[in-house]
Amino acid sequence: MEWKADWGLRFRMFVTMLLLTGLYLVFIAALTVYLGGGMTSIVLVFALFAGAQWYFSDSLTLWSMGAREVDESEYPELHGMVRRLSQQADVPVPKVAVVDSRVPNAFATGRTQKHSAVCVTTGLMNTLNREELEGVIAHELSHVKNRDVMVMTVASFLSTIAFLIFRFGFWFGGGRDRNNGGILVAIGVSLLVWILSYLLIRALSRYREFAADRGAATITGQPSALASALMKISGRMESVPTEDMRDQAEMNAFFIIPVSAGALTRLFSTHPSTERRIEALQRLEREMETA
C-alpha cells in the first residue's frame, strides 16, 4: 500500500496547531505587557530543562517505565520483526526494549528517527498473534516516522510554562511591597492559556494516533490486523489488576491504548476511542480491497 496523505486528518492537525500558535502568541504578548522582562530568565531556564528532557527522551522514558533494552539473542523474533518493519517504513532501526508487565501495551519514544526506541510489554507479546503484534509495532514506528515526540514536545512547551506561572505565579511578585496587579493578570491569562492549550494538545494527540494507525496499515498492508490487536488489548485491559493499571497510568500519552477508560478520561484523553480507531481501520481495509 502506498504511503498516502490523509488530507482531512492533516487539515485538522494544521488547524489545531494554528490555534495553538495563535494562543501562544497572545500568551507571550500578555507576559511581555504585564511582567516585562522578569519572566525571561525563568522561561530560558525552563527551556534548558525541557530541551534536556527532549534530548534524553528515549532513555528517560524507558527508565521511567522500567523498560529494559534487549538484544537479538534474547528476543530474536521481536528484533527481526522490528528490523523488517523499519525497512518497510523507511526509518532507521530503533532500539528494542521490553517491560515485564501484565498490561498489554507498547510505545515509541526518541527525539529523532535515528535516536528512537520501540518498547513492548510481555503482556502484549503474550496476548497478540504475530500479525497483530506487527500491526502494533508498525503503529509505533509510524510515530517515529512522523516525529511525534518532537511535535508534541514543541506543542506542549508554552502550555507547561503557563501552568507553572499559574501554579507558582504569586511567588514571582517579589514580596508584598510591590504592585502585583500585573502579575495577577498574568496568572489569570496563564490559567486560560493552560486550559485551552490542554484541550487543543489532546485533540492534536488524538489526530496523531489516527495518523499512526493509518501509517501502520500502510507499512503492513493489513489494517484488519491492527484493528484486531486493538480489540484484544482493550478487552485484556479489563482483566489486568488495578494496581498494575495505576502504576502505568502516568504514561498514557505514550501507549497505543490508554490504561484507563472512564467517561471523564475519554473526554480529556490523548487517544481516540478504540471504537473510532477500529472503524477508521475498517474503512481503510475497504479502500484497499477496492483499489
CB atoms within 10 A of CB 276: 14
Using CA atoms, how far apart are residues 282 and 213, in angstroms rounded to an integer?
11
Q: Which of 140, 209, 275, 279 is catalytic?
A: 140
84 CB burial (10 A radius; 0-12, 13-18, 19+)? middle
Using CA atoms, how far apart are residues 209 and 257, in angstroms rounded to an integer?
10
Using CA atoms, how far apart are residues 86 and 91, in angstroms rounded to an integer?
5
Cα dist from 2 to 88, 218, 287, whole Å:
11, 6, 12
Q: 2 catalytic, yes or no?
A: no
Supply the DSSP symbol for 39. Answer: G
Beta strands in 33-92 (DSSP E): 68-69
Residue with grid cell 508554552, as numbered in its chain: 158
CA angle 31, 36, 40 (to 5 degrees): 75
CB atoms within 10 A of CB 151: 16
Give catalytic residues, as residue numbers.
140
